[in-house]
Structure 1
Amino acid sequence: MAINVDIQPAVPVVNDDTKDAVVIDSLTKIFKKSRPLLRWHKKNAGQKEEKREVRAVDNVTITIKRREIVGILGSNGSGKSTLIRILSTLLIPDSGHVSIFGYDVVKNDRTVQRLINRVSVEASFFKKLSPMENLIYAARLYNMPGDEARLEIRRILGRLGIKPDRIGAPLENMSRGMQQKVAIARAFLTAPIVLLLDEPTTGLDPRSKNDVQTFVRELRDEHDATILITTHDMDEAEALCDRVAIIDQGRIVALGDALALKRAVTGIMGRSEMVTMHEVFMHYTAAHLITETDIERYGSWEKAFEAFEAQREDEEE
């Protein structure tokens, strides 16, 4: 039986090199969350629960130039994935404006979808099918000719370290890291002019991470792509990104190239040697809340920071 698919029309041509690729202006997204214990108490008391508002994205403004690679650094729950979902047209913001090459992500969502592609850590596939079959299906959605798609799929999977004899094996028999590579290949397949990568190298070994980073650079250089990447990997952000935005509790608290941020924090901390990106991240997200007592209690700055993040996540439940 034939499968009906919603085939994407041809990608809109973007000729104006002077246009900003992504413009985010005063963007806010609010979720309403309940607290399980409070909900149980209110229910037993016959009272109506009042859900707590959480600003996942809070008045974010940033402009990303064409062909720029921008990294979004943030801890779990900081708002970086929510930001990616809004850019992907998967969530509607509560206020503010987002445009991709001049197209509003809410009003012109279908056009935006033809300009972008997204990789996420929770990428879904038909697990009984092989990487080739899954990617052929994806190529069909974008109206790619079959022969052209097969050649490109083999090339991309090969570059990502998937051997030819694994291309036809069921995905369910592959590791999480291998499945993540297939998700990355799916995004690269259509050569989007805006690529949204939500923690794309999670679960990958160091060599595979390097392969992905090299391929990201090639996509930018050869296909004129603009790339937004969220990551926990400070080394990856420093090596790959033209600029880095640090997001904390839904707000951008620092923005600039990695070297400039390191120099700024080095000066603030009065160091003689340059600080690391890890220290930059901790400075902008938690330095003012971690005391010498915390460091002494947990044994190191890093462990004190991890404890602080865990406590903050518990408080948000």
Structure 2
Amino acid sequence: MNYALISENIKKQFKKSKRIVHALKGINLQIREGEIYGLLGPNGSGKSTFIRIASTLLIPDTGSIKIFGYDVVKEATKVQRLINRVSAEASFFKKLSAMENLLFAAGIHGISKKEALEKIYDISEKVGLDRKRLNDPLEDFSRGMQQKVAIARAFMTEPRLMLLDEPTTGLDPRAKREVQSLILQMRENMGATILLTTHDMEEAERLCDYVAIIHRGRIIIKGRTSELKTMIAHKVTNPTFEDVFMEFTGISFDEAEYEEAESA
């Protein structure tokens, strides 16, 4: 079995005002190569903190994450060559065109202009970006289109592991569906392993092969989406992921969102 990511006992705390916030309380995950793995939980549950550690942006207090066998702290440079990250709020030079933003990103990674142009046209086709709009300013793009550009930019480096941190947050329903379809295409057309964080239970169920539910910095339950619903089928007729969350956390998802917001 080949694993893209293995985390062991990841803990992280932050000092806010005069108190300590325990963001992660011992996270253990194993993500198989080639799958879409969902980290599902309310805002403030620790999802983004885990992504930042996996992407070498934060150092854990204890524990380790290995990506394709490389430690994210001790071998950060090697890990950075294997991953890329897309967040809910992708940063761009909004006055510049999509093409200019993509060429700039290519240049940072040492990709020649000739090779970059080939990559841009190839990736744009795969992610559904209209070539005719590549020279339009990013500020004229919808949020959904901007996320497509962000994902295209991430694939310039041909990452083996894509870290998607709430990529559909704030999108209108149509744009959300387009980005969700794109995520499925990424695995199909580009062979990427994907770690997706989301607080959208329908999104997790639609996209993910395997899901871990995180609450208060801990993994509560994990398994294949169908397996998790089957586990409570004797209690609930036609169970939803909302039912799964409530069964294993003891509270509704809305209550968990409120609880996490109050403790932030």
Give the TM-score normalised by the residue count of structure 2: 0.91
1:176 maps onto 2:143 in alignment? yes
Task: Classify 1:142/1:68 alpha carbon distance in 2 versus 1 (closer, same or farther; 3 Å).
Answer: same
How far does residue 161 in structure 1 lie from its aligned partner after superposition?
4.3
Structure-2 residue corresponding to 1:293? none
CA shift digits 1:243-290 (9 cap, x unpaired)? 0000001100010001110111223xx23x220112212333343xx6
1:117 maps onto 2:84 in alignment? yes
- Among 195, 205, 221, the alignment partner of 1:238 is 205
How far does residue 69 in structure 1 lie from its aligned partner after superposition?
1.3
**Counterparts of 1:185 and 1:116, CA distance in 2:** 14
Q: Tell me if the contact between 1:254 and 1:284 (Cα under 8 Å) persists in the aligned partners.
A: yes
Paired residue secondary structure (1:266) = coil
Q: Tell me if the contact between 2:143 and 2:175 (Cα under 8 Å) persists in the aligned partners.
A: no
**Counterparts of 1:195 and 1:107, CA distance in 2:** 20
- Among 10, 15, 21, the alignment partner of 1:32 is 15
Q: Tell me if the contact between 2:39 and 2:196 (Cα under 8 Å) persists in the aligned partners.
A: yes
How far does residue 104 in structure 1 lie from its aligned partner after superposition?
0.5
Structure-2 residue corresponding to 1:251? 218
Q: Tell me if the contact between 1:245 and 1:252 (Cα under 8 Å) persists in the aligned partners.
A: yes
**Counterparts of 2:61 and 2:13, CA distance in 1:** 7
RCO higher in 1 or 2 (8 Å CA, sep ≥ 6)? 2
Q: Tell me if the contact between 1:177 and 1:203 (Cα under 8 Å) persists in the aligned partners.
A: no
Structure-2 residue corresponding to 1:22? 5
**Counterparts of 2:84 and 2:231, CA distance in 1:** 34
Paired residue secondary structure (1:60) = strand
Structure-1 residue corresponding to 2:247? 283
Q: Extract unaligned runs of 5+ from structure 2.
A: none
**Counterparts of 1:157 and 1:70, CA distance in 2:** 24
CA shift digits 1:53-90 (9 cap, x unpaired)? 11111101111111121001010100000000000000
Structure-2 residue corresponding to 1:313? 261
Counting strand residues as a fraction of each chain, which structure ranks higher?
Answer: 2
CA shift digits 1:154-195 (9 cap, x unpaired)? 343344444333211222233333322211221123221011
TM alignment of 1:291-306, pairs within 5 A:
305-306=253-254
**Counterparts of 1:189 and 1:206, CA distance in 2:** 27
How far does residue 120 in structure 1 lie from its aligned partner after superposition?
0.5
Q: Tell me if the contact between 2:84 and 2:161 (Cα under 8 Å) persists in the aligned partners.
A: yes
CA shift digits 1:212-241 (9 cap, x unpaired)? 334433433444321100112222211221
**Counterparts of 2:149 and 2:59, CA distance in 1:** 28
Structure-1 residue corresponding to 2:65? 98
1:201 maps onto 2:168 in alignment? yes
How far does residue 107 in structure 1 lie from its aligned partner after superposition?
0.6
Paired residue secondary structure (1:261) = helix
Larger Rg: 1 or 2? 1
Aligned residues: 264
**Counterparts of 2:182 and 2:217, CA distance in 1:** 30
1:156 maps onto 2:139 in alignment? no
**Counterparts of 2:259 and 2:47, CA distance in 1:** 19
**Counterparts of 1:156 and 1:204, CA distance in 2:** 22
- Out of 54-63 and 134-143, give the one that drifted further: 134-143
Paired residue secondary structure (2:28) = strand
CA shift digits 1:117-155 (9 cap, x unpaired)? 000012211122111111111122223332332233234
Structure-1 residue corresponding to 2:19? 52
- Out of 55-64 and 121-130, give the one that drifted further: 121-130
**Counterparts of 1:160 and 1:112, CA distance in 2:** 25
- Among 253, 262, 267, the alignment partner of 2:229 is 262
CA RMSD in angstroms, aligned pairs only? 2.1
Structure-1 residue corresponding to 2:38? 71
Q: Tell me if the contact between 2:51 and 2:163 (Cα under 8 Å) persists in the aligned partners.
A: yes
Give the TM-score normalised by the residue count of structure 1: 0.76
Q: Tell me if the contact between 2:11 and 2:61 (Cα under 8 Å) persists in the aligned partners.
A: yes
Q: Tell me if the contact between 2:144 and 2:178 (Cα under 8 Å) persists in the aligned partners.
A: no
Matched to 1:226, the amino acid is T
Paired residue secondary structure (1:196) = strand
Matched to 1:82, the amino acid is T
Task: Classify 1:129/1:206 alpha carbon distance in 2 versus 1 (closer, same or farther; 3 Å).
Answer: same
Q: Extract unaligned runs of 5+ from structure 1.
A: 1-17, 35-50, 291-304
1:139 maps onto 2:106 in alignment? yes
Matched to 2:29, the amino acid is I
How far does residue 196 in structure 1 lie from its aligned partner after superposition?
0.4
